[in-house]
């Protein structure tokens, strides 16, 4: 039987539709336990590739014949060989094109809503990494916020909308993924904005994101005034778009809050984090729709694939916003932290312009799950 190929877009469709899928992951056990393709109705079997070199007979009985079966590895090669062996036994299987590397890079644009002036806001969901970036479109102009390094995806999308990118923002200096902000700005002539307190070591020119800046995209104003929101980093800055959407960066997520330790400053920044969440954000309208820069688990995706929630609801339901005791809060965000992101120091240096790794190294640096949140 022929071996089928499944693309990351095909898998993303199954995630959104909550389809059933049986995944045979042939990476090492530690890699699988650290990070895998998540889906509400996905089942998994992890058998390292080297255990299957002599044949697949031992696992045939563990693979269902009544479900779609997808073989996954790191880069594709091993999954092709295992899929071919399974196919030779009569099973109908597919392998994932590009493997987990390509899954890590898949971006799915989801329309969040219309703006008051007829513009639109889109969320780009990087489901394999938990990254969320945004595009605001209005009157043929576009702004991009917290872009990933896959710049061509944004450039192609904005071209399909007959728009021009005029502004690019990063809410903070990212430590878990390489920003595409500088690349996009260089390719389009757009203004690149960074919080100056996060940019003290950058090696390139940027426009400082500071209180009092209101940036206009077509007919839409991105209000930055009074939303300096430190805690995840010392420069973290939130945006309100169109008086409807709060882009919270890595300060506030749907199911958790940002970690303050990725610059080695957890003890120093925990107070800033609490002040941002418990004072600055409390002063905002509870009707704002929170659009974070990351999500942690697949359960945070809404039915349409977006990651968004009303601020008032988060103040009721997000545990990180409901810790009255300051000492308990301090303990949570300094002691209850997951492992730090893969190669986060090198990623920070790349985003500062201090090092310029090639594409293969950039991919390796980013491999693994999102770890920007307090658990």
Q: pLDDT > 90: what percent of the chain?
A: 66
Full DSSP string of 189-221: TPEEEE-GGG-TT--S--EE--TT-EEEETTEE
Higher pLDDT, 264 or 70: 70
Catalytic residue flag (residue 372): no
pLDDT at residue number 1 = 58
> pLDDT tens digit string along 333-347?
877 677 766 788 899
Residues near 343 by beta carbon (within 8 Å), at least 6 away in sequence: 364, 365, 366
pLDDT reading at 7 higher than 60: yes
Tell me the CA end-to-end span of the chain in Å, nearest whole number: 45
177-194 mean pLDDT: 95
Average pLDDT, the chain: 89
pLDDT reading at 221 higher than 80: no
CA-CA distance, 257 to 372, in Å (whole number)? 9
pLDDT band, very low/low/confident/very high, at 226 (cuts 50, 70, 90): very low
Q: Which residue in 73, 107, 227, 323 is the catalytic one?
A: 73
pLDDT at residue number 274 = 87
Q: Which fold has domain 107-366?
A: Metallo-beta-lactamase; Chain A (3.60.15)
Instruction: Give the distance from CA 61 to its chain's centroid.
Output: 36
CA-CA distance, 168 to 181, in Å (whole number)? 6
Q: How do strand 21-25 and strand 93-96 relate by DSSP bridges?
A: unpaired
Ranges of CATH 3.60.15.10 domains, the chain? 107-366
pLDDT at residue number 372 = 67
pLDDT reading at 227 higher than 80: no
pLDDT at residue number 83 = 97
For the ranges 113-122, 132-141, 157-166, 301-310, the lowest mean pLDDT is seen at 113-122
> pLDDT tens digit string along 19-65?
999 999 999 999 999 899 999 999 999 999 999 999 999 999 999 99
pLDDT reading at 258 higher than 90: no
> pLDDT tens digit string along 120-154?
999 999 999 899 999 999 999 999 999 999 999 99
Domain at 4-102, CATH class: alpha beta
Q: What is the pTM of this model?
A: 0.91
> pLDDT tens digit string along 85-123?
999 999 999 999 999 999 999 999 999 999 888 889 999
pLDDT reading at 263 higher than 80: no
Ranges of CATH 3.40.250.10 domains, the chain? 4-102
pLDDT band, very low/low/confident/very high, at 261 (cuts 50, 70, 90): low
pLDDT at residue number 32 = 95
By the 8 A CB rule, do 129 and 369 touch? Answer: yes
pLDDT at residue number 225 = 43
Higher pLDDT, 333 or 177: 177
CA-CA distance, 146 to 134, in Å (whole number)? 7
């Amino acid at each position: 039987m022929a071996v089928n190929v499944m693309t990351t877009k095909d898998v993303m469709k199954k995630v959104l539709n909550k389809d059933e899928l049986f995944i045979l992951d042939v990476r090492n056990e530690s890699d699988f336990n650290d990070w895998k393709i998540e889906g509400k109705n996905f089942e998994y079997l992890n058998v390292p590739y080297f255990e299957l070199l002599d044949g697949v007979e031992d696992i045939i009985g563990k693979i269902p014949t009544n479900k779609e079966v997808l073989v996954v590895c790191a880069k594709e090669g091993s999954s092709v060989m295992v899929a071919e062996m399974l196919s030779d036994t009569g099973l109908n299987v597919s392998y994932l094109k590009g493997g987990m590397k390509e899954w890590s890079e898949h971006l799915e644009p989801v329309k969040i809503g219309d703006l008051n002036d007829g513009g639109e806001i889109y969320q780009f969901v990087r489901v394999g990494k938990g990254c969320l970036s945004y595009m605001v479109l209005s009157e043929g102009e576009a702004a991009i916020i917290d872009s990933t390094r896959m710049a061509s995806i944004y450039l192609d999308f904005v071209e399909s909308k007959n728009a021009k990118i005029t502004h690019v923002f990063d809410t903070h200096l990212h430590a878990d993924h390489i920003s595409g902000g500088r690349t996009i700005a260089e390719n389009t002539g757009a203004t690149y904005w960074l919080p100056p307190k996060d940019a003290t070591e950058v090696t390139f020119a940027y426009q400082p994101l500071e209180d009092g800046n209101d940036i206009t995209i077509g007919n839409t104003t991105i209000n930055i005034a009074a939303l300096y929101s430190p805690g995840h980093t010392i420069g973290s800055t939130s945006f309100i778009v169109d008086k409807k959407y709060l882009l919270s960066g890595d300060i506030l997520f749907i199911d958790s809050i940002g970690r303050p330790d990725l610059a080695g400053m957890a003890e120093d920044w925990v107070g800033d984090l609490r002040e941002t969440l418990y004072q600055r954000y409390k002063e905002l309208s509870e009707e704002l729709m929170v659009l974070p820069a990351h999500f942690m688990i697949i359960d945070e995706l809404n039915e349409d694939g977006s990651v968004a929630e009303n601020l008032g609801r988060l103040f009721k339901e997000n545990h990180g916003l409901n810790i009255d005791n300051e000492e308990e809060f301090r303990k949570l965000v300094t002691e209850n932290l997951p492992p730090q992101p893969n190669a986060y120091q090198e990623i920070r240096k790349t985003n500062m312009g201090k090092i310029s790794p090639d594409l293969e190294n950039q991919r390796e640096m980013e491999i693994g799950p999102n770890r920007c949140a307090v658990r």
